[in-house]
Structure 1
């Protein structure tokens, strides 16, 4: 931010509004909600302190009293949408795989509702109130897994990372399909025909065998479930 020294800090450790003065006119929840509305409508590139201030009806400079850095604004946004997780109260039924699968599905749905989310996700944002709530729930869901907490944290990170990668790839494929002057199926047919010609002379015997066997069929949802199940298999 112009004219403001960059320094590390945790926004959750700061008061809602820096300095003295009257009661704050806006809460962090108000600011985060405004930024999320902008990002949902116009993308993360449209989120600026000026645009958020305009959405709230306040001056841009006054917004810095609430949110000193744009990184803090992003963290507020991530925490706000993380509050959309539906986490049941109390312990689960002990089926840690089923609970992690359900959480993975929620994460995918969350990122689809807010396509900008993978762009600003950071491990540094793991200390927000809703992030801590999510992590505590995950660790409770994993009580039935005989593994140290370090391994459980690794599992949670790998599930989230895998889901994010899958969703980002879904976005990329959809964007590419929209840009094609023909259908993606037509594109695939041409490319598979070319590939078949390349392996036909025996130069790539293993690849030819793999293509003959073919991948397991399935739509995007089935492939997602298979990916998560195989990841969980590695920890079971």
Structure 2
């Protein structure tokens, strides 16, 4: 006979440890910190209940008394990293404050390269994430629009930053695996692309490259992308 389906739960609504017995040896903060250390050093795929239990020096089954599912472990990790956001006194300039938020999020993602993989609304309402969202809404107090629209703004900024950092991390990982330098790789690809454009088969691409043949300034691209998101939410006169 099939087993009874597990009932949905929210880890934050559960007690720190289920069951009877002696006082818990570990807190959720301990478990989250151990998981983050593993992910930072070895990547997200290295995080497992067994690996975290080993890091803490306890049995795997004991860990399940604290964290019922691996997904809960991920949620603890995201909450721990969300707690690293600096929550400052808003300046009154909502655009400047939200740009600061975006750049801080980017820095956190580079410090914890596994984080973009776990950026999901599912993990968006943990205690630390709620404090972060409340801070963003305080920064957005000068913007005269609905709270629903403000939440969309925060989500879109996070999406742009996540996409940008994911690309940065992938490029860095690929560069590390190349048997030649990044400069050699770029020169080879530019030469190939130039040859294809020179065939005349891609006139619009040729015109695009003719407009600006210099190297791409990725920092400027990010600034423009974030600015365009903010422009979309700026009230029109």
Q: Over residues 29-81 of structure 1, what are the superposed CA-to-partner deviations in whole Å (9 max), with x where a residue is unaligned?
A: 01111111111111111111111112212111111111000100100010001
Please say which of residues 60-69 and 186-195 is displaced more in the overlay.
Answer: 186-195
Q: How far has the Cα of 1:4 moved from its partner?
A: 9.6
Residue equivalent to 2:177 = 179
Provide the C-alpha distance between the structure 2 equivalents of 1:5 and 1:64, rounded to a whole number of angstroms: 17
Provide the C-alpha distance between the structure 2 equivalents of 1:232 and 1:80, rounded to a whole number of angstroms: 28
Residue equivalent to 1:79 = 79
Residue equivalent to 2:97 = 99
Q: How far has the Cα of 1:192 moved from its partner?
A: 2.5
Q: Over residues 182-232 of structure 1, what are the superposed CA-to-partner deviations in whole Å (9 max), with x where a residue is unaligned?
A: 222332233223333333354332221111012775544333223212221
Please say which of residues 220-229 and 26-35 is displaced more in the overlay.
Answer: 220-229
Provide the C-alpha distance between the structure 1 equivalents of 2:157 and 2:4, rounded to a whole number of angstroms: 37
| Normalised TM-score (structure 1) | 0.90
Provide the C-alpha distance between the structure 1 equivalents of 2:4 and 2:16, rounded to a whole number of angstroms: 19
Residue equivalent to 2:13 = 13
Provide the C-alpha distance between the structure 2 equivalents of 1:47 and 1:194, rounded to a whole number of angstroms: 41
CA separation of 1:6 and 1:218: change in aligned 2, threshold 3 A: same
Q: What is the correspondence of 1:66-215 to structure 2 with a 5 Å cutoff? A: 66-89=66-89, 92-214=90-212
Provide the C-alpha distance between the structure 1 equivalents of 2:206 and 2:93, rounded to a whole number of angstroms: 40
Secondary structure in 1 aligned to 2:105? helix
Provide the C-alpha distance between the structure 2 equivalents of 1:167 and 1:97, rounded to a whole number of angstroms: 21
Q: Verify: 1:225 aligned to 2:223, yes or no.
A: yes
Provide the C-alpha distance between the structure 2 equivalents of 1:136 and 1:206, rounded to a whole number of angstroms: 46
Secondary structure in 1 aligned to 2:170? helix
* Structure 1: stretches of 5+ with no match in the other structure: none
Provide the C-alpha distance between the structure 2 equivalents of 1:216 and 1:129, rounded to a whole number of angstroms: 46
Q: How far has the Cα of 1:12 moved from its partner?
A: 0.4
Residue equivalent to 2:52 = 52
Please say which of residues 200-209 and 174-183 is displaced more in the overlay.
Answer: 200-209
CA RMSD, aligned part only? 2.0
Provide the C-alpha distance between the structure 1 equivalents of 2:48 and 2:142, rounded to a whole number of angstroms: 44
Provide the C-alpha distance between the structure 2 equivalents of 1:22 and 1:10, rounded to a whole number of angstroms: 24
Secondary structure in 1 aligned to 2:109? helix
CA separation of 1:85 and 1:38: change in aligned 2, threshold 3 A: same
Please say which of residues 112-121 and 68-77 is displaced more in the overlay.
Answer: 112-121
Q: How far has the Cα of 1:23 moved from its partner?
A: 1.9
